[in-house]
Chain A
């Protein structure tokens, strides 16, 4: 595709429900990153993938958060038993390979937990 795409663009859910957020990176990009952007805050790094491997999961806020990437392309960020503090914009970015300083961001998924 022309750029990084994310779906859904908006998600409203009830506290306690599980949500899945999807990211389609730029074709050919092997590195993929997830960030969380809360109101008035900067971008908080969550996790990155090099291929299908996620070497560092320490940025995930809690064990309710998990992510996977299959086929070296699409990635899914799953939040289980959502809490109101999970409300934020979840951004995905990709780069040609890990170590490339330029990351290309998607438009984000705006998650609201009621």
Chain B
């Protein structure tokens, strides 16, 4: 099956600093990657859709200047949480769409804690 690797799995950062999360498709080319946010006991909320080589499309209510997304290659997308605050603490999950397929495969998630 398609493997998506997300790094780091856990990160703790100080308020005001920035954190970068990587999402890699290991054995396929991902033309589209998705970034989700999940609060405890809640569902996944789509933050943005990124296509390789173009700007990400953000969902309504998601600040694009705070959540910077870069999809520079067909196997890597990054999410940078800038000037993080405690309310940004959450579980962030990426998923990747295999070229030619319609199922999305998920990374293992990154638990961000801002102190």
Mutual binders A and B: no
Chain B interface (Cβ < 8 Å from any Cβ of A): none
